[in-house]
Amino acid sequence: MDNLPSASATDSRNTQETLQSIDDWQVLSPIAILYFTASVFKHLFGNLIYLIPALAVSYKSVLEHPFIWLPSILVAFALLTLFAFLSFKVYRYRLTEDNIEIRSGIFSKKYLNLPFSRVQNVKIEQPLYYRLTGHACLQLDTAGSAKNEAKLVAIKLAFAQQLKTRIQSQVQNNTIETNQKNTCANGKEQPGQSADSAVTKETLLNTRKLSDLVIHGITSNRIWILLGGLAPFYDNIFDSVGEGLTTLGIDFTELFSLQTHSLLEVGLFALSLTMLVMLVLVSFSVIGAIISFYGYTLSKLDDKYIRRSGLFTKHEVSMGLSRLQMIVQKQDWLDVLLKRINLQFEQNNSFGKNHSLSATSSKIIVPSIKPHECQALIDDAYPQNALNALVSSNGFEPISKRFILRNIVFVLMPGWLIITSSTMMHGKLTISALVSMLFIGLCGFVVLRWKRWGVARDENFVYLRKGLIGVDYYCFPTYKLQQTQFKQNLLMKKRQLATVKFVLASGSLTVPMITEKLAYELIDQGLYKVESCQKSWM
Amino acid sequence: MLENTFTNPPIPIEQLPTILTLDEQSLSEQYAPLNRFINLGFTLLVCLLGITLYFQPFVNLPKGLLNSLPFFIWAAAILGFLFTWLSYARDLVRSYALRELDLHYTSGLFFRTVVSQPITRIQHIELKRGPIERKVGLATLQVFSAGGEMHTFQIPGLPVDTAQQLRQFILQHKDVIKHG
């Protein structure tokens, strides 16, 4: 650490010199090599998943020839290290008064010039291996594509923080300028921040305790993703587990054989086994939640929300209130039982596409909070919203009952009829009985789904409720709409029903089978709001 | 300064401009026949290929394929003609409408869809012209918003002049100039 060359020295000089513009190109600190190695590995392992089935089939024959795979792995390692070193060598950045330039790339050279005023989002990321030296990654998102993001790979944390404040103050000045020109009717986000707003203290809105994260781990279904990923190995896993148990003196076939045990015993075995598997899976999920949300804090600085979390890699995501597109309040069935809510602040997702993982995505998630905390946060973001009143008074307008009819008659019924009639013809009555039970169950789900659907609006917001057993609420300011779609087929026209699709920068929302009149009103009012209110959606 | 000119009278919902009564413009008269011509041509091409494959003396095809080939050709022909007919009918009912502050595109034979795009939310515009469109002087207007590529608003089959006028109108629109 002590023998870091000039680069880190310039970094620290910069932190002292209050960010003078640097005219010459800067080199990163050598610690960045670690970062490049890690990212190459991450990329490689991401692609390796496709190779795993092939390896799984042929791993025995591969293992028999160590003189082939050992050197090849070594060569691969050497190449990767060389690649990381070269990436570090060619990486240069330069900061001027109001923009940032980055040159990178070994084979395909990349030159990026980004004015600070175009920055959407500033993220600070601190991987585990940067913590010893106090470095961090600063990621700048633009409204363009995900590929065009700028990332300063290894700079001092304090410098990163300073740079962040500077960029954000520049962005803010811009928004104030545009806001002052606006003659918008509902001044909800006051453009009244004066120049001294930069000195305002950061206020802490929410923290998550370890117990909250455990609850989040249990209730979130992230485990099914893991199960899906493991699918190709089920056979191997079960075989090896079976073999292992046999050597321990436990024989599965005997254990589950109905000839030696009573039905009750076998049932109990199966139950305890599933419980055991579930326990392991749930603990995985809990660990995942802790890794991504450890030390969670949500704070507010002026009109910016800042989320910090992470056990190994610390993430810091900040988002201006004006960037917020939609508030989503999600409750799975377990959340309903435990009375917990996952709150999401969604923003423009054009740069969030590649990060589906909750810790890295640019939307702000508040995991497993209690209802009153959730309400406080929503009211803080949108003081005029009436979501809570709507929820408690059940003020949502239901969708047409024909939704049930349509889904049962046109979607479920044909499949059920075909399967039952064909199984009946072949005399397999048990199968047709099972299918019929499934059919009835699905019909029940359709009814539940219908029951959850609901839409409401007031002067400034549109609210949506949907779900199956759990329930999700969506709330967005009407002027954030990007596009509307009115859909109607001939049958719906006859019944004067229609489907409305709201397109927002954070994604689209569909409300099926509402009355034609309501649909037209929603769209007309939405368009009116967007066009009469000169407020920018960003 | 602003307060003097600023008024904000309440507007009842009934008085809002509604998309129910749009002044719908039809697409170019060439558009539907052109599409029909292309679809028919493609169907014929597929059938011709199948027929040449059936009668050609150079390669010995497997028995099963040779027997089922006429069936496939017939199927392709019937499906192709059905598709051509349907898409022709569908092309005829497509229309667009331009209001002072937004663009609308209506389409669909059985499933009617009206897509409305406020001009103030437009990010950029593209005029697309393939080789055939260039030949007959048509253009497709694509309008991108922040709603993502999935929700690109597009009007196909516009005469080039109209498309360019539309583009010019949008580019010079006060909302775009202000927010673009």
Which residues in chain B have their CB less than 8 angstroms from residue A525's CB?
13, 16
A33: which 2 tokens?
């090599």
H-helix or E-strand containing B142? strand B138-145
Q: To probe the interface with A, which of B5, B113, B116, B175 has the most A CB atoms within 10 Å?
A: B116
The model's pLDDT over A61-74, given as tens digits with 9 standing for 90+, comes to: 767 777 777 888 88
Query: Which residue in B114, B116, B146 is closest to A505 by CB distance?
Result: B146
* Nearest chain A alpha carbon to B113: A487
Model pLDDT, residue A354:
43
Residues of chain B neighbouring A537 (CB-CB closer than 8 A): 121, 146
A501 forms bridges with which residues in the sheet? A485, A510
Averaged pLDDT of chain A: 79
Least confident of A146-155, A184-193, A265-274, A326-335: A184-193
Decide which of A277 and A509 is more confident: A509
CB contact under 8 A, B147 and A505: yes
Residues of A in contact with B10 (CB under 8 A): none
Which portions of chain B are predicted below pLDDT 70?
A: 1-5, 178-180
Select from B113, B147, B175 the Cβ nearest to the Cβ of A487.
B113
Residue count (chain B): 180
Q: Which of A43-57, A214-228, A354-368, A372-386 has the lowest mean pLDDT?
A: A354-368
Query: Which pTM was predicted?
Result: 0.76
Q: Is the pLDDT of residue A417 over 60?
A: yes
Residue ranges per domain, chain A?
6-178, 213-290, 402-450
Looking up tokens 């489907």 gives A499
Highest mean pLDDT among A339-353, A369-383, A385-399, B75-89: B75-89
Q: What is the pLDDT of residue A256?
A: 64
From edge to edge, which strands make up the β-sheet containing A135-142?
A150-156, A135-142, A119-126, A314-320, A304-309, A297-301, A203-207
Tokens describing residue A480: 């954030």
pLDDT at A111 over 60: yes
- Which DSSP string do the residues of A384-451 spell out, in sequence order? T--HHHHHHHT-PEEPPTHHHHHIIIIIIHHHHHHHHHHHHHTT-HHHHHHHHHHHHHHHHHHHHHHH
pLDDT confidence band for A359 (50 / 70 / 90): very low
Q: What is the mean pLDDT of residues A217-234?
A: 61
pLDDT of res. A172: 66
Non-local (6+) Cβ contacts of A520 within 8 A are A486, A498, B18, B19, B20
d(CA B32, CA B40): 12
Q: Tens of pLDDT along A291-312? A: 888 888 898 888 888 888 888 8
Give which of B2, B6, B20 to mutate to test A binding, by max A Cβ within 10 Å.
B20
Residue B154 forms contact with A (CB below 8 Å): no
The string of DSSP codes covering A315-337 is EEEEEEGGGEEEEEEEE-HHHHH
Q: Which one of A350, A486, A490 has the shortest CB-CB distance to B110?
A: A490
Q: Do B115 and A485 touch (CB under 8 A)?
A: yes
Closest CA–CA distance from residue A483 to any residue of chain B (Å)? 5
CA distance A84 to A63: 29
- Please tell me the distance from the alpha carbon of residue A233 to that of residue A222, in angstroms, as a whole number: 19
Minimum mean pLDDT range among A165-174, A395-404, A419-428, B22-31: A165-174
CA distance B129 to A411: 39
Contact B120 A484 (CB under 8 A): no
Distance CA A51, CA A252 (A): 32
> What chain B residue is nearest to A487 in terms of C-alpha separation?
B113
Question: Quick check: A154 and A130 in contact, CB under 8 A?
Answer: yes
C-beta atoms surrounding A420 within 10 Å: 18
Average pLDDT in the A14-40 region?
70
- Give the per-residue pLDDT at A202: 79
- Name the pairing type of β-strands A135-142 and A119-126: antiparallel
- Residues in chain B within 8 Å Cβ distance of A530: 118, 120-121
d(CA B80, CA B42): 8
Q: What is the pLDDT of residue B44?
A: 95
Q: pLDDT class for A184, splitting at 50, 70, 90?
A: very low
> What is the Cα–Cα distance from A120 to A152, expressed in whole angstroms?
16
Q: Which of A200-204, A269-273, B64-68, B133-137 has the weakest average pLDDT?
A: A200-204
Among candidates A486, A489, A537 on the partner chain, residue whose Cβ is nearest the Cβ of B146:
A537
